[in-house]
Amino acid sequence: VCSMGNSTSRLYSALAKTLSSSAVPQHQDCLEQLDSARLDPIDPKDLLEECQIVLQKRPPRFQRDFVDLKKNVASNHRPIRVMQWNILAQALGEGKDNFVQCPMEALKWEERKCLILEEILAYKPDILCLQEVDHYFDTFEPLLSRLGYQCTFFPKPWSPCLDVEQNNGPDGCALFFLKDRFELINSANIRLTAMKLKTNQVAIAQTLKCHETGRLFCIAVTHLKARTGWERFRSAQGCDLLQNLKSITQGAKIPLIICGDFNAEPTEEVYREFSNSSLNLNSAYKLLSPDGQSEPPYTTWKIRPSGECRHTLDYIWYSQHALNVNSALGLLTEEQIGPNRLPSFNYPSDHLSLVCDFSFNPDPDRLL
């Protein structure tokens, strides 16, 4: 198995000459866009082949199918595919998370990053929203920019990754969109507040213009505070994010999609705040349930020293008056996940990726 950056690899050897882990900025400069104009474009098929060479001794990817959710709604444009994923920060996976059933070999970055890239390349999102990104500058920005994405990263002010020896800098949220499909109109990096205090959690919100339709919409990505006992804190962070998004979308005049790891089950207050918001939001993955009203049974499933953790924490919210969900990617079954749960040699994160295809409602005002 060849490793990333090996001289036999056409793509990664070129990358190794431009950026390395040791070159990661550790201060405010890392909020700035990197100049990737010097890097040649990559054919996605070539990158996928590179990943498969690295992964040839690992089991094949799990098969997941899209579920058609269209309700006889005609669309006059190509759907917009949005992918939400907490990819598991490398420093946390190796140094803090204590996955007792996951072999350390399965967490090796040289192979795990290929599993992450393989998942992204398989579903070809137009917009990609990631959390726990701690290899932005040496992996995701240089590679995805060469695939045609515009890239934005906003790290946590006090990332727990920095407590881990040989870390690769802070983790944070990252947002990527295809430049041939969208134009960036406005971008906001939001440090969330709770009880009037600035917190360690962040969000990115960008207003995009769809080239094909001329329609504006806002895409946001966030990652709220983790752990039991912080429910009121998450609620306050959610209220702050909603207030920011109300301003950015001019009170829901601009359609909105919010992706995130909310670290909150549907029973929590922050979930109810989003459900009952004046922004008229719905959770896309509820539409996979028979009644269209129930969230999936899990979006993360792992085993730690404290026991088995099976929770629904990840969501794609959308403006239900202005957007239609055409399809959603089905989740992994318990049988696919297996008794040792996630992450594993088959799957690189403890969270499942969520993918939805959206289309614009031709008459959004009628449903407000």
> What is the rounded average pLDDT for all residues in the chain?
89
pLDDT tens figures, 104-136:
999 999 999 999 999 999 999 999 999 999 999
pLDDT at 32 over 50: no
pLDDT band at residue 96 under the 50/70/90 scheme? confident
| Class of the CATH-defined domain 79-164+173-363 | alpha beta
Per-residue model confidence (pLDDT) at position 364: 61
Per-residue model confidence (pLDDT) at position 206: 98
Q: Say how far apart CA 177 and CA 164 lie, in whole Å.
A: 31
DSSP state of 106: G
Per-residue model confidence (pLDDT) at position 311: 97
Q: Say how far apart CA 152 and CA 173 lie, in whole Å.
A: 8
DSSP state of 46: H
Q: Which residue has the higher pLDDT, 342 or 38?
A: 342
φ, ψ of residue 270 in degrees (nearest 5): -65, -35
Q: Identify the weakest region by mean pLDDT among 2-11, 80-89, 104-113.
A: 2-11
pLDDT at 18 over 60: no
pLDDT band at residue 14 under the 50/70/90 scheme? very low
Q: Which residue has the higher pLDDT, 365 or 300?
A: 300
Q: Which residue has the higher pLDDT, 31 or 324?
A: 324
SS3 of 351, please? strand
pLDDT band at residue 365 under the 50/70/90 scheme? low
pLDDT band at residue 35 under the 50/70/90 scheme? low
Taking residues 334-351, what's their average pLDDT? 96
SS3 of 327, please? strand
Cβ contact 360:368 at 8 Å: no
Per-residue model confidence (pLDDT) at position 72: 67
Per-residue model confidence (pLDDT) at position 39: 74
Secondary structure E strands in the chain: 66-68, 80-86, 127-133, 149-155, 172-178, 182-194, 197-210, 216-223, 256-261, 281-283, 300-304, 307-311, 314-319, 323-329, 354-360
Share of residues in the chain with pLDDT > 70 (%): 88
Cβ contact 189:227 at 8 Å: no
Taking residues 87-99, what's their average pLDDT? 91
pLDDT at 217 over 60: yes
Taking residues 46-74, what's their average pLDDT? 91
pLDDT tens figures, 151-207:
999 999 999 999 999 899 999 999 999 999 999 999 999 999 998 999 999 999 999
Q: Say how far apart CA 39 and CA 32 lie, in whole Å.
A: 17
